[in-house]
Structure 1
Amino acid sequence: MARPETWQLIAANYPVSVVMQTRFQDIDPNRHLNNVAFAAMFENARVRLNRSLRPWADRPKNERSMVASVAINYLREGHYPDDVEVSSGVSKIGRSSYVIAQAMFQNGQCIATCESVIVCRTDGEGRPLRQEVVDELEKMRTTG
């Protein structure tokens, strides 16, 4: 995976941020946040972003959004008990998918970045994103 672009390392370039507490159970034998904890915090922030884009109650019953891929760059060690801030936004919008770009910050430094490809499926098959979904995604664009 390529190193993150400079814009990805700046919290202000993301429209949504959430502060999360780290937990004792998140540390590895070296007393650093483990990779599973990073993935879980990115997932939690990603779900919050998706729920704010399109409330689940408004979506047709036969439509699903699914994670097609997740790529995490671990840039620095994270530490317990310091909180982390996960910043998120939409970096790309395709015909039937979009990319959520995220960065995790602790004590003023970016410690990881994440990109997740989300695909739209209707009746079990890939389908183009509905225009109202695209409109909501546009509101959550990253500025990088």
Structure 2
Amino acid sequence: MTSTHLLLRSSSYPVLIEHPARYNDLDPSRRIGRDAIVRWFEDARIAVERDVFGAGLTARMRLLLASVRVDVLAPLQVIPRSATGARIDTGQYRIGIGVSHIGDSSFAYTYGVFAGDECVATGESVSVHATVGGPAPLPEAVRAALETLRTDAPAPTRLERGPSRLIREAYPFRLDVRTRFGDLDPNRHVNNVALAGWYLDGLAELHLDVLGYPVGGPLDGLSPSSLRVDYLDEVRYPGIYQLRVGVLDLDETEVRYACGLFDGPRCIGLAEAVGAHRLEDEAGDPGDLAARLEPFRMRNV
């Protein structure tokens, strides 16, 4: 259980925003993709900041996302459904957002996604106020505005990592990624949502390799239920980067992955994900996926 799981009621959040689910939010399992939920959090974050900071201050500030986490608690579909399976009348989800921590140059949000009264996903993110010279103190006007959004939630968790997580050769699986112009945001670097999609692509490619490249992609249900991304440096266009994936832990039902994004030997991004490995295809059992994932454990380097 993460700190975000503690806020499972919509009344815990100072702001609730209705958000429609779109067809292109769906992944191959016909459920809302994890990268789509990262985008929903971004939409909520920007809407709140424009409202509480004001357009003028928002335009002058440079806020960079340092990390984001998504935890999916129940299936999300285009037409929201309650815990009993009944359709939600509005046809929209609600995103709760509040501020859980205010530091010198950074602050953190906590999120909840609701279908009716049921919390179906939670999350957290950290934003950093930056100038050309690096992190800068938050303006007093911003600090005061953030205080109005305070909610009773723990500060975001830190991604635990040893020195090997920053070493490219510690990750057994490799995927090369070329940046696209359409991935850029107004800061002229690859957007955080696009980068979250890169890590999900890396996991999907690993699953394809493990399953023998089935037509139509990996089996439904292999998408992670939890995804955490740490943005260590900007990813630029044009460029070709190495995305690496390894297995951290395996138990009877779940697998925990580690991901690293590298510019040459330099690590510029990290991620962790947790997902299932016990699945059945239409014909029955696809085999022991845990045993197939064993060769991809992180290396000691």
Normalised by the size of structure 1, how large is the TM-score?
Answer: 0.88
Q: Which of 75, 78, 83 is residue 76 of structure 2 equivalent to?
A: 78
Aligned equivalent of 1:103: 112
The size of the alignment, in residue pairs, is 142
Aligned equivalent of 1:26: 25
- Gapped runs of 5+ residues in structure 2? 81-91, 154-301
Deviations 1:54-104 (A, max 9, x none): 12313584x411111111111111011222100101110011100011110
Cα RMSD, aligned residues only: 1.8
Moved over 6 A (4+): none
Aligned equivalent of 1:54: 53
Q: Verify: 1:8 aligned to 2:7, yes or no.
A: yes
Which structure's CA Rg is the greater one?
2
Report the Cα distance in structure 1 between the residues aligned to 2:99 and 2:77, rounded to whole angstroms: 27
Aligned equivalent of 2:275: none
Aligned equivalent of 2:273: none
Aligned equivalent of 1:125: 134
Does the 8 A contact of 2:94 with 2:114 survive in 1? yes
2:122 alignment partner AA: T
Identity of aligned residues (%): 31
More strand by share: 1
Distance 1:30 1:54, change over 3 A: same
1:68 alignment partner AA: A
Normalised by the size of structure 2, how large is the TM-score?
Answer: 0.44
Between 1 and 2, higher relative CO (CA 8 Å, sep ≥ 6) is seen in 1
Does the 8 A contact of 1:4 with 1:113 survive in 2? no
Query: Residue 141 of structure 1: CA displacement?
Result: 0.7
Query: Residue 53 of structure 1: CA displacement?
Result: 2.3
Aligned equivalent of 1:94: 103
Q: SS at the partner of 2:104?
A: coil
- Gapped runs of 5+ residues in structure 1? none
Report the Cα distance in structure 1 between the residues aligned to 2:6 and 2:72, rounded to whole angstroms: 16
